[in-house]
Structure 1
């Protein structure tokens, strides 16, 4: 069962973050707050940690996980290439509510990709998520902390007990801000393809891409 530690979402420092980072370094999974929903963090480069996320959620093996980074430099080794459209969107709209889909390089565990060739990447906007990625020094998984097929939790009190029972540490930031999930944009397509409309408006994305064709 998870050890529950309170965390200040506006100023995530101290024992809770330090302990969460240590759990991640050791291959464990941590429940953590994002802007809209609580998520499950694991070291994205660790196949066993990734497998544990799938086990906790009861997630089908063919459903990939997105990952969270805290810089554009962290993206570069994880993908085959960064198209001009991807570069512009990262520079203009990250961090925020936009996940970009790239062709994955060979550095990521195949299980993370769900047997596919692409990976969804977002720059963490929530201070706790950013602190975890910074403390670990590498990307983490960003999937929601729920059983597969069930709704996500925007309040710590809404988390499914089964998830907490399978997780060693949970960071409690209370009720989250909520809002739409991220807009998912596939930048392997030309022009980029919006796979899911979410927090980042289409107009904002199209405006950021204007210079690609100029």
Structure 2
């Protein structure tokens, strides 16, 4: 069963973050809060840590995981290129409710991509998520902390015992703010393609992209 540490969503305790980062550095998986749902964090560059996320969730191997970064500069080594549309959306709308899909670089473990050639990336908006990425110094996985096919948990008390039993540490921030999931935009397409409508309205995305065609 996961060891549980209470964590403040607004100002996460340094010791809680440090303990979580130590586990991530060792290739472990941590349950952590995001804005809407609890997630499973693992070091995105570590194939074994990524495989453990799939095992915990019982997730099919062909379903890729998205990753969380804490800066635009952190994106560049992870992708083959940053299209102008991607640059604009990152600069104008990150951090926030938008996940951008890029062509993945060879630096990322193939298992992370689920056999695909693209990767979804979001800048972490939640203070705990941002602190984990900053403390680790590299991206983490951002998938929801649930068994594959089951709903995600927006309250720590709703987390699946099966998930908690398979993870060494869980950061408990209580009930989360909730809201819609991120809007997913594929910037490898021209024009960019909205794959899933979520927290960022399409009008906001189109306004951010206006200079691309001018």
Give the TM-score of the pair, scaled to structure 2: 1.00
1:36 matched to 2:36? The reply is yes
Q: CA offsets per residue over residues 66-90 of structure 1, 9 Å max, x none?
A: 0000000000000000000000000
Secondary structure at the counterpart of residue 122 of structure 2: strand
Greater CA deviation, 114-123 or 13-22? 13-22
Q: What residue number does 1:198 align with?
A: 198
Equivalent in the alignment of 1:15: 15
Equivalent residue for 1:146?
146
SS at match of 1:74: coil
Cα deviation, residue 150, structure 1:
0.1
Write the distance in 1 (CA, Å) between the matches of 2:174 and 2:7: 9
Q: Give deviations 1:102-133, integer Å, cap 9, x for gaps.
A: 00000000000000000000000000000000
Separation in structure 2 between the aligned mates of residue 77 and residue 97 of structure 1, nearest angstrom: 22
Aligned partner of residue 72 in structure 1, secondary structure: coil
Q: 1:40-69: per-residue Cα shift (whole Å, max 9, x none)?
A: 000000000000000000000000000000
Moved beyond 6 Å, runs of 4+: none
Identify the residue that residue 64 of structure 1 maps to in structure 2. Answer: 64
Q: CA deviation at 1:15?
A: 1.4
Matched with 1:103 is 103
Q: Which residue in 1 is equivalent to 2:182?
A: 182
- Aligned mates of 1:13, 1:47 — CA distance in 2: 29
Shift of 1:19: 0.1
SS of 2:91's equivalent?
helix
Pair 1:171-2:171 in alignment: yes
The offset of 1:14, in angstroms, is 1.9
Report how many aligned residue pairs link the two structures.
214
Q: CA deviation at 1:13?
A: 2.8
Any gaps of 5 or more consecutive residues in structure 1?
none
Q: How does 1:155-170 map to 2 (within 5 A)?
A: 155-170=155-170
Question: Alpha-carbon deviations, 1:119-167, whole Å to 9, x = none?
Answer: 0000000000000000000000000000000000000000000000000
RMSD: 0.3
Q: Any gaps of 5 or more consecutive residues in structure 2?
A: none
TM-score by length of 1: 1.00
- List per-residue Cα deviations over 1:171-198 (Å, max 9, x = no partner): 0000000000000000000000000000
User: For residue 45 of structure 1, what is the aligned residue in structure 2?
Assistant: 45
CA distance in 1, matches of 2:39, 2:101: 19
Q: Distance in 2 between matches of 1:98 and 1:30?
A: 23
